[in-house]
Amino acid sequence: FKAKEQRGSLSFFSDDLTASARYRLDLEQRLRYAIEHDELCLFYQPQWDVRTGELTGLEALIRWHDAERGLIAPGVFIPVAEQSSLIGAIGCWVVRHACQQMAEWLESGLDVPRVAVNVSPQQLHYHDLVSIVRDALQETGIPPARLEIELTEGVLMSSSIEPEVMLDSLRQLGVRLAIDDFGTGYSSLAYLTRFPLDLLKIDKSFTDDLLFSPEARAVVETIIVLGQKLNLTVLAEGVENSEQLDALSQLGCHQFQGYLRSRPLPIEEVQALLANLPH
C-alpha cells in the first residue's frame, strides 16, 4: 500500500486515506468472519397482488447480525462486499439459503408461491451464477419456477459478461427473471425484447413521487403499459400508503411490496404470516 510505505512524505493526506482504507479492511474482515460464522440471515418481504390482495411471493433481503453492532443493513456491507471477492460467497450463500428455506416451507405444508433473491453485477465476475442456481435447485429439489432472480440493469449492460448466454441458461433451468430498480439504471429498452424476462420492479423512487409528480406518474404508467404489451408482470416497490396503492391499481400495476402491507420480516414472522393466510 503505497501511501503507507511513504508515510513520511505523504502523511499529509495518507492519514485520511488510511482511515477509510482501514475502515473498509476492518469491515471486510468482519464480514468474512460473519460469512464463516453464520452471522448472516435472510429477512423476507411479502409481495402482493394489487387486485386480489393475495401473496405472490417473498423477496429475500440479507441482514448481518454483528455481535457488537447489532443488525447491519445491506446498504452498508453489500457495496464493500462488491469490491472484494466476498460478494461471490454472499451470493452463493443467499441463493442456497433461500432455496433451502423454500424447501422447508413446502415440506411443512406452507404454500409459498415464490422466493426472489437479489444478485449483484459484481458477483458474476467471481462465480458462475448459473451453476450456483443449478446446484441449489438440485440440492433442495424445489420447483425452479418458485425461484426468481432479481438482476439490476447494470448486470444486463455489463460488458464483461454475456448477459444473453447467462439469462438463457438461467431460463433453461426454469427460474424466473426480474429486473430490480427498473428505470434507474443506464439501460436500453432493447434488452427488454432481447432477454427472457418475467417481471419488472418499478423503483421505489418512482413510487415515492407518484402522487406529487406528473413526470413520475408518467414513468410509472409507461412501465406498466410496457409490461402489459411485452407480457411482463409489473411490481411496484416501496408502497407506503393506500393512496399510492390506489393510484397503482388505477394504472393497472399487477403487484406491489412495501411497508403499507409488510416490512421485511424475520423467519418466525414470515411463518406466522404464511400460516394465517386465507386458503
Selected binder of Mg ion within 27, 181, 220, 227 (CB under 5 A): 181
150 is a contact residue toward Mg ion (CB under 5 A): yes
3-state secondary structure of 79: helix
Per the CB < 8 A criterion, the answer to whether 248 and 236 are in contact is yes
Burial class of residue 102, CB neighbours in 10 A (0-12, 13-18, 19+): buried
Q: How far is the CB of 220 from ligand C2E (least distance, A)?
A: 15
Chain center to CA of 49: 19
* Residue 118 beta carbon to ligand C2E: minimum distance, rounded to whole angstroms: 4
Q: How far is the CB of 98 from Mg ion (least distance, A)?
A: 12
Query: Which does residue 264 touch among Mg ion, ligand C2E, none (CB within 5 to 8 A, set by kind)?
Result: ligand C2E
Selected binder of ligand C2E within 3, 74, 126, 205 (CB under 6 A): 74
| Interacting partner of 101 out of ligand C2E, Mg ion, none (Cβ under 5 to 8 A depending on kind) | none
Region 252-271 residues binding ligand C2E, contact defined as CB under 6 A: 257-259, 264
Scanning residues 208 to 267, which ones bind Mg ion (CB under 5 A)?
237
How far is it, in rounded angstroms, from Cα 199 to Cα 46?
16
Output 198 or 240, the one with its CB closest to ligand C2E.
240
8-state DSSP, 146: G
Plot region of 174 (φ>0 → left; ψ -120 to 50 → alpha; else → beta)? left
Establish if 153 lies at the interface with Mg ion (CB under 5 A). Answer: no
- Cell 443506464, residue located: 186
Q: Does 78 bind ligand C2E (CB under 6 A)?
A: yes
Q: Is 62 in the site for ligand C2E (CB under 6 A)?
A: yes
Q: What does 238 bind: Mg ion, ligand C2E, none (CB cut-off 5 to 8 Å by kind)?
A: ligand C2E
- The answer to whether residue 223 forms part of the interface with ligand C2E (CB under 6 A) is no
**Taking the complex as a whole, how short is the minimal distance between the CB of residue 150 and Mg ion, in angstroms?**
4
Q: Which of 64, 62, 79 minimizes the C-alpha distance to 31?
A: 64
CB of 207 to ligand C2E, least distance (A): 8
Tell me if residue 14 falls in helix, strand or coil.
helix
Q: Which residue has the cell 503505497?
A: 2
Query: Is residue 45 close enough to count as binding Mg ion by CB under 5 A?
Result: no
Q: Which residue pairs from 93-98 have beta carbons closer than 8 angstroms and sit at least 24 positions apart in sequence?
A: 93/35, 93/40, 94/42, 94/60, 94/62, 94/118, 95/132, 95/133, 95/136, 96/132, 96/135, 96/136, 96/139, 97/42, 97/60, 98/42, 98/60, 98/147
Q: Is 153 in the site for ligand C2E (CB under 6 A)?
A: no
Which residues here bind ligand C2E, judged by CB under 6 A?
A: 45, 61-62, 73-75, 78, 94, 118-120, 180-181, 204, 237-240, 257-259, 264
